[in-house]
Chain A
């Protein structure tokens, strides 16, 4: 076959272009650290990586949900802890009052009890952020409201027994609150304490029945707190599971989609050597012409 200069040069340019393209592709893989830099690099892998990434994103959202639930429950739990302390103090107060035969002292006990009721009420109206934690789903309305004349506590008429839920998986929900209805017996605890206070104010010492009532509420608070605690444990466990799932997803993404730098660098060097050789020989060959030797 006849080979002329133009053919030589266009062939040389074509193969140099091919070499440069290969070097460019490897360089992109190395500098971005990713095998797929545009969808057409590997459409199948790209789609797979996107699906995995979606899972990671969802997973991190579920982790965030679980984290929020843990925080919310912790604030409930610490309010319940304190409520237990306050109620224990109240019990001590009532016990002393019951044992005090001097009816004149009862009104002093009554006013101390009134302060403790206030403390307990504050705890029952605890907020996490802007949300009343014991308001059920009525998080924007104060669940327990002391009447101005302090003769009783009004419970939010819309109900405080609503269950709060978050997603912890695709279409998997979990409850993350204990309600004011269960922790504070739907406000009955305040009515009973106020009745005891009023009785003491009028000079009557508390009865053993009153002590029993308080014990019952104490047990109710403790068991509700235990329920909150076990929910915290559950969400922490879910967080750990989600996090290890996320780790394994991420490592799959990395295995599939990240450039093997060592391999890529070696390949790049091979391509560079080829390109270098093509440039060197090309530069030599295109200079050869019969014209150089004719005198």
Chain B
């Protein structure tokens, strides 16, 4: 009787605690619902989707060229790697190959992005666990890398630097020199971080034997990247399915043994050294050559070749040749300034006072009736009729400029067409395996774009890593799988 009374009074039950979505240690807007028995975790349920922006769906309404900036905003701490993953996949879909130099540059910036990602991971992971100084030191080096990104493309985080078929622009000499200096100094900086935490007794207590996962289990859960390699599985896409210039460099894939948080930390630290090594090899070998693939179907045409028409000093006027015009009205509909008038099946006319010289009529006309009059701006219609010649008889440079301008308009308004079919291409981003799956229906936009985001899969592994540990170890577990919710929720 007394015992029953006592049980009633001192009844224990599991406590249900919300961790996140606004929690500094959950690396974004991850919400974990913890069932805890005292201080011990019984059950963890991750809730994702707070940062869902519908990148996959947006990709379906944008052309292959336009969708590139979306990938910046997935994993925003290593935007460059995500860009590279996207362009490698689209290049494979189009069946083109980037030139050698572009591949080298992409691999260099990809590895820079890996270093800057691991630095941010180390900084926040250490900060979560309680080592503040490492945070400051890591950001010091990350700043250098971000400055280098700014030097080549004008942006520090959302870079949008690689392009389908190459890279946006060539790298300057100062970039290579500054990066070489960075690779000279960086190993000593890694030693600094290690002096601070590698043998630190608090760090060891917080990481050793926390979140242990065996190799078999890690594979079954779909882990990839350093999170998997910490368990001793040497799976690295850069090694097994090399893309870009990874087959031309020599590097090791560091692996752990036990699969605990400390092993994953060691793995990433060794990866920093390997990445540094890869960059050095690539800078030494960087070949001269083009940075964009010479396939006019899939790239924007060169701008200087369009200059004979587009340069402001040329004073271009557009004129419709009466003989050639069939009066279809296409140009009239295309003209954004509403400068073209005319009856159906009769020759149309451009009102020179309203014309803005935008070339939309030139691009839409299928009967080659719109021509360019160099230096014809401000002249009367009679004078223009005298000066105008058929498009075939124009000077060679203007003819070429005209063709390229048409290509530019078509590329931007419709986008390069991909062949029908579907494919899956995976690349090794700092977090793990980033896969792009495209279903193409032969148009300029993907019918379906699906992303395999490593962060999403790793977030699903959290319950397995946390159960049985203490509440404070949840923070270590979130840190060790290195998730970014922008990529997880997409």
On whether the two chains bind one another, the answer is no
